[in-house]
Amino acid sequence: NAGVTQTPKFRILKIGQSMTLQCTQDMNHNYMYWYRQDPGMGLKLIYYSVGAGITDKGEVPNGYNVSRSTTEDFPLRLELAAPSQTSVYFCASSPTLRGRDTQYFGPGTRLTVL
Amino acid sequence: LAKTTQPISMDSYEGQEVNITCSHNNIATNDYITWYQQFPSQGPRFIIQGYKTKVTNEVASLFIPADRKSSTLSLPRVSLSDTAVYYCLVGGGNNDMRFGAGTRLTV
């Protein structure tokens, strides 16, 4: 099993550009999450999904969109990139509720918006 | 939403036991306590989870007193490779857990 994979590893965007961060898991987990981590800080939940077709906002959803058409994939979309979105983005998955079960994290995508 | 409080940083030497305490005064009845470890440039990795009393696995032990308002992660005989940030999370649902700044352990 590859676990949780994320692409790309690094990306530089100009203000106003758009991009999609890809996340795929091969563990057949129902629950998937997107977090962002600013330097020296903990992770903040952006969006999560409890299954294909079902998504909901987390703590910091503004400026982002998600979709979940399959169990395996959970892409994160940035429509109009802003410098405040410079961060490291982590995708995670868990078999059941994240409070009751292990979350498995991907390696992260380091995004810089200039 | 259960708020957690941890020390910002701790230092230790190789071979010592390290105990990191997390306070969570308003923990709810159905909340679990989970600890993650994060190395630089990597995603967090699950260490241990518990509900009450003591839990032990091959990596660490988790001590939870009867009132559950705090918990202590114990790392036996740390090595240089244990240098990382350790996060304490409390929760039981999808949107009610938050990562704090964590405890930066330097061995």
Q: Using CA atoms, how far apart are residues B107 and B105, in angstroms rounded to an integer?
A: 7
**Which chain A residues touch B99 with a CB distance below 8 Å?**
35, 42-44
- What confidence tens digit (pLDDT) does each residue in B34-47 have? 999 999 989 999 99
| Domain at A52, CATH number | 2.60.40.10
Instruction: Summarize the confidence of residues B69-91 as an average pLDDT.
Output: 95
Element (H, E) at B50: strand B45-50
Element (H, E) at A7: strand A4-7
CATH no., domain B9-106? 2.60.40.10
A109 located within any domain:
no
A91 located within any domain:
yes
Name the residue among B42, B95, B102 with its Cβ closest to that of A42.
B102
User: What pLDDT is attached to residue A86?
Assistant: 97
> What is the full DSSP assignment across B55-91?
EE-SS-EEEE-TT-SEEEEEESS--GGG-EEEEEEEE
Domain total for chain A? Answer: 1
**Which chain A residues touch B49 with a CB distance below 8 Å?**
102
Determine whether the interchain pair A108/B43 forms a contact, defined as Cβ–Cβ distance below 8 Å: yes
Which of the pair, B3 or B21, is modelled with greater confidence? Answer: B21
Asked if pLDDT for residue B62 goes beyond 90, the answer is yes
**Which chain A residues touch B5 with a CB distance below 8 Å?**
none
Of A18, A2, A6, the residue nearest A89 (C-alpha)? A6
User: What pLDDT is attached to residue B61?
Assistant: 98
Residue A39 near chain B (CB below 8 Å): no
A112 located within any domain:
no
**Residue ranges making up the domain that contains A59:** 4-104
Q: Using CA atoms, how far apart are residues A81 and A64, in angstroms rounded to an integer?
A: 9
User: What pLDDT is attached to residue B96?
Assistant: 67
Residue B101 near chain A (CB below 8 Å): yes
Structure tokens at A95: 């078999």
Q: Which residue of B has its CA nearest to A41?
A: B101
Q: Between residues 37 and 56 of chain B, which touch chain A (CB distance below 8 Å)?
A: 41-46, 49
Structure tokens at A7: 């692409």
What are the backbone dihedrals phi and psi of residue A94, each rounded to the nearest 5 degrees, phi first?
Answer: -150, 150
State how far residue B79 is from chain A, nearest Cα, in angstroms: 23
Helix, strand, coil in percent for chain B, rounding step 5: 5, 45, 50
Of B88, B75, B86, the residue nearest B27 (C-alpha)? B88
A111 located within any domain:
no
Strand partners, B48: B35
Residue type at position B100: G
Whether the bond into A8 is cis, omega within 30 of 0: yes
Structure tokens at A77: 């979309």
State how far residue A114 is from chain B, nearest Cα, in angstroms: 21
Q: Using CA atoms, how far apart are residues B51 and B3, in angstroms rounded to an integer?
A: 16
In a 13 Å sphere around the CA of A5, the CA atoms on its Cβ side amount to 9
Q: Which residue of B has its CA nearest to A38?
A: B101
What are the backbone dihedrals phi and psi of residue A83, each rounded to the nearest 5 degrees, phi first?
Answer: -55, -30
**Given pLDDT bands bounded at 50, 70 and 90, which one contains residue B1?**
low
Q: Outline where A1-114 has alpha helix (H).
A: none
Asked if pLDDT for residue A22 goes beyond 60, the answer is yes
User: What pLDDT is attached to residue B34?
Assistant: 92
